């Protein structure tokens, strides 16, 4: 009884502390209507990011040199991860360089968003920065295993990547390497845009090498291997300082508890030393690192020992923990679990499985979950993918660098997220929605809210929308894209989801109950009316019965309304053909004037009628296979123990045709760089070493 009372009292006193911690984390997180738009259109940094080298083939060639088997060095399926933070001019005080490219980063298309990123976020918050930073990677693509890790097979003791040790150094650090040159030029561009840059933090071995390579390229000297503090930082700028820390991801590599504790102790010492260095720099120059608005940091504490030696630190010791990544660092509508609490997704081959607050990181098999297979994504007859010269399916398009969406703008963002006074979305989970509340409700719109000649209101048709936080990007959305094109509409449309959460699988009555909830109707009506008030909308399309009901409650006297059957309904092809003929009789400005006659949809072709989602509708960094090939996302059915897992796990899979895509050819310049570096030599390593020794003797 006494133990129970003590436990009760402990919990009682702990609750306010836990509540305060949650409140602090929510403040650091910000609001879901705050978001990152991506690079400015036509900007110099956009052009440089998208001029990235052929990572995949360069990696394969280096791994295949000296008689070794050619294989992938980079995780290419989900494409490049360019950055996280600020890309504008005079916005960056601290540049963080590292290599963090797990599944969270691949899914969110932002660097350092998983556990390591959140550890670094805490360091930034500790030194007083909550937004004036930029994260960049040593490699824009995630590497298999670790930097310079040859991956030894535990059973055979063979090296899986025998060329990785020296190959990674060449790829990342040799100025002959297109990858190293591209990265150095990117660093230089950040310096150019931010002449008042104050601090560069190198996270891990690869980053420390990269910073030293960068300094040396500017004519500076580094006197100690992988010690960036030994480098002449003045070559980068008058106020730039360099700090190196251990990679927080090392904790995940521990083989046992003892090793884990040892690594944790090393990390604590490393970050404490970095914090002390920052404190000393601020002590020497109080204006060196101004606080960001709304940020705080501990006071600088100066002490002297008995011998008069001065030590400078902050008056609050650095504590190794994770802080959430702010919403403002992600694209609009991304699921809210990303960046929230260490790693929030699992990797399954070429698939990624985001999970809710009630889900689990499945390093342990007991947390495995099972998914349905309604349609094999490996047997898509027509993907809707449009071949464009110079593009690959696993990267964003290079044919039009501005082909991405920068979000709904301040006029709509807060309203869409239910943030305006009196227009808050209700608790959808309590109303019966399937998706866990922790995922949020971001996949509510797509298109141009200020150019909507045509407004589409549509019911949910797939789970794909949560992939990029945009409405209707799965099979029905690809059919709708095809339909809009046949209307002559390629740009001037806006799409709004009837409900911004997952209700698939619920019967129509339950969905109707959620859709007709007074507060749901109030917010949705406000969204639709604001769009109509800002545009000369002439046509409204509804897709599905709940969408038709929602539009029936609007004033549409001067607008032509057409109710399309749900794309999955029987006879949808016949219905869409009839509606298209009627629509083409209406007078409205077409984006494409080339239409000669109405397109006829046929039942036998309906399943494979698709057009890939307009790239201008999707956030920056979206690879081209997303928004093609029908529905690519599935909701888990149950876990390993047979428990039903409603709305906790979703799996997004790369389509089979994209997974089978071969690496593209190198440019002449890239091939020449490999040749000059000796990486096209197919002779065994030992023969090459002997030849090199002979050449050296001859030279002497």
- Going by C-beta distance under 8 Å and a sequence separation of 6 or more, which residues neighbour residue 278? 127, 199, 243, 289
State the pTM of this model.
Answer: 0.93
Is residue 294 predicted with pLDDT exceeding 50?
A: yes
Q: What is the pLDDT of residue 553?
A: 96
What local confidence, expressed as pLDDT, does residue 25 receive?
A: 77
pLDDT of 283 strictly over 80: yes
Neighbouring CB atoms inside 10 A of 356's CB total 21
pLDDT value at 428 more than 50:
yes
**pLDDT tens per residue across span 22-75:** 577 788 999 999 999 999 999 999 999 999 999 999 999 999 999 899 999 999
DSSP state of 138: S
d(CA 209, CA 503): 49
**How would residue 17 be classed by pLDDT, with cut points 50, 70 and 90?**
very low
Backbone angles phi, psi at 533, to 5 degrees: -75, -20
C-alpha separations of 544 from 533, 550, 569 in Å: 24, 10, 9
Give the torsion sign (CA, 355, 360, 362, 365).
negative
Distance set, CA 49 to CA 30, 102, 177, 179, 238 (Å):
27, 20, 16, 12, 26
At residue 378, the pLDDT reads 63
Q: pLDDT higher for 359 or 244?
A: 244
Distance CA 396, CA 408 (A): 20
Of 218, 225, 140, 228, residue with least CA distance to 178? 140
Give the number of residues written for the chain.
Answer: 700
pLDDT at 569: 94
16 has pLDDT over 90: no
pLDDT of residue 372: 80
What residues are paired with 447 via a beta bridge?
494
pLDDT for 18: 44
Which candidate, 156, 91, 175, places its Cα nearest to that of 129? 91
Q: CA distances (Å), 178 to each of 171, 667, 673, 677, in order?
A: 8, 10, 7, 11
Q: What is the pLDDT of residue 695?
A: 54
Q: What is the pLDDT of residues 174-203, one digit of tens each?
A: 999 999 999 999 999 999 999 999 999 999
Q: Which two tokens stand for residue 546?
A: 């709940």
Looking at residue 349, what is its pLDDT? 84
Residue 101 confidence (pLDDT) above 90? no
- Taking only the tens place, the pLDDT of each residue in 379-404 is 676 789 999 999 999 999 999 999 99
pLDDT in tens, 453-500: 999 999 999 999 998 999 999 999 999 999 999 999 999 999 999 999
* Tens-digit pLDDT profile for residues 539-564: 999 999 999 999 999 999 999 999 99
Average pLDDT over residues 249-273: 88
Percent share of the chain, pLDDT over 70: 92
Longest CA pairwise span in the chain (Å): 92
**What pLDDT is stored for residue 12 in this prediction?**
53
If 0-12 CB within 10 Å is exposed, 13-18 middle and 19+ buried, where does residue 294 land?
exposed
* C-beta of residue 650 within 8 angstroms of C-beta of residue 481: no
pLDDT at 698: 55
Whether the pLDDT of residue 687 is over 80: the answer is: no
pLDDT digits (tens, 9 = 90+) for 594-632: 875 789 999 999 999 999 999 999 999 999 999 999 999
* Phi, psi of 162, rounded to the nearest 5 degrees: -60, -25
CA 486 to mean position of chain CA atoms: 33
Judged by average pLDDT, the poorest of 98-112, 419-433, 583-597 is 583-597
Asked if pLDDT for residue 592 goes beyond 60, the answer is yes
- Distance CA(104)–CA(193), nearest Å, equals 28
Mean pLDDT over 95-122 rounds to 94
**Rounded distance, CA 218 to CA 529, Å?**
56
Per cent of the chain over pLDDT 90 is 78
Q: Mean pLDDT over all residues of the chain?
A: 91
Q: Rounded to 5 degrees, what are φ and ψ at 19?
A: -65, -40
């Amino acid at each position: 009884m006494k133990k129970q009372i003590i436990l009760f009292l402990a919990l009682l006193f702990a609750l306010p502390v836990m509540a305060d911690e949650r409140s602090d984390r929510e403040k650091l997180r910000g609001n879901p209507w705050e978001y990152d738009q991506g690079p400015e259109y036509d900007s110099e940094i956009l052009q440089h990011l998208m001029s990235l080298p052929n990572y995949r083939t360069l990696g394969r060639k280096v791994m295949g040199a000296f008689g070794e088997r050619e294989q992938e060095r980079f995780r290419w399926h989900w494409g490049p991860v360019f950055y996280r933070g600020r890309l504008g001019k005079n916005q960056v005080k601290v540049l963080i360089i590292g290599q963090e490219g797990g599944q969270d980063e691949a899914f969110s298309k932002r660097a350092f968003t998983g556990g390591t990123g959140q550890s670094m976020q805490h360091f930034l918050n500790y030194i007083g920065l909550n937004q004036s930073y930029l994260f960049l990677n040593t490699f824009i693509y995630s590497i298999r295993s670790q930097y310079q890790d040859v991956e030894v097979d535990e059973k055979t003791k063979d090296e899986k990547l025998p060329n990785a040790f020296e190959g990674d150094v060449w790829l990342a650090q040799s100025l002959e390497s297109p990858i190293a040159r591209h990265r150095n030029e990117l660093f230089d561009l950040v310096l150019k845009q931010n002449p008042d840059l104050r601090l560069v933090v190198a996270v891990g071995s690869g980053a420390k090498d990269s910073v030293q390579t960068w300094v040396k390229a500017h004519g500076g000297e580094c006197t100690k291997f992988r010690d960036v503090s030994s480098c002449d930082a003045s070559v980068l700028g008058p106020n730039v300082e360099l700090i190196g820390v251990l990679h927080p991801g090392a904790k995940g590599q521990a083989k046992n508890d003892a090793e884990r504790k040892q690594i944790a102790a090393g990390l604590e010492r490393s970050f404490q030393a970095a914090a002390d260095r920052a404190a000393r720099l601020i002590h020497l120059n109080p204006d060196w690192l101004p606080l960001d608005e709304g940020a705080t940091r501990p006071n600088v504490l100066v002490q002297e020992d008995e011998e008069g030696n001065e030590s400078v630190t902050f008056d609050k010791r650095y504590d190794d923990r994770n802080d959430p990544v702010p919403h403002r660092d992600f694209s609009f509508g991304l699921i809210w679990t990303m960046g929230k609490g260490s790693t929030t997704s699992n990797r399954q081959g070429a698939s990624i499985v985001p999970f809710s607050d009630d889900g689990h990181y499945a390093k342990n098999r007991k947390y495995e979950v099972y998914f349905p297979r309604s349609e094999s994504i490996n047997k898509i007859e027509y993907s809707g993918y449009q071949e464009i010269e110079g593009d690959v399916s696993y990267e964003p398009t290079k044919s039009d660098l501005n082909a991405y969406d920068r979000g709904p703008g301040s006029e709509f963002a807060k309203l869409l997220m239910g943030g305006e006074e009196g227009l808050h979305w209700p608790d959808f989970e309590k109303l019966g929605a399937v998706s866990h509340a922790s995922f949020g409700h971001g996949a509510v719109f797509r298109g141009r809210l200020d150019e909507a000649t045509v407004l589409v209101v549509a019911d949910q048709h797939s789970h794909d929308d949560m992939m990029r936080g945009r409405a209707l990007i799965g099979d029905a959305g690809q059919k709708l894209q095809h339909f809009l094109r046949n209307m002559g509409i390629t740009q001037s449309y806006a799409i709004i989801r009837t409900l911004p959460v997952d209700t698939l699988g619920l019967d129509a009555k339950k969905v109707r109950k959620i859709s007709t909830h007074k507060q749901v109707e109030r917010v949705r009506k406000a969204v639709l009316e604001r769009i109509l008030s800002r545009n000369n909308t002439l046509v409204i399309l509804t897709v599905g019965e709940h969408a038709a009901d929602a539009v029936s409650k609007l004033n549409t006297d001067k607008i032509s309304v057409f109710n399309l059957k749900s794309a999955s309904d029987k006879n949808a092809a016949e219905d869409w053909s009839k509606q298209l003929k009627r629509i083409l009789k209406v007078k409205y400005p077409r984006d494409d004037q080339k239409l000669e006659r109405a397109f006829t949809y046929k039942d036998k072709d309906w399943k494979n009628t698709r057009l890939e989602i307009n790239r201008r509708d999707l956030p920056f960094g979206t690879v081209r296979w997303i928004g093609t090939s029908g529905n690519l996302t599935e909701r888990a059915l149950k876990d390993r123990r047979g428990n039903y897992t409603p709305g906790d796990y979703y799996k997004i899979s790369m389509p089979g045709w994209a997974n089978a895509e071969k690496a593209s050819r190198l440019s002449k310049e890239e091939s020449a760089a490999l040749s000059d570096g000796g990486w096209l030599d197919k002779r065994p390593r030992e023969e090459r070493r002997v030849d090199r020794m002979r050449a050296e003797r001859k030279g002497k």
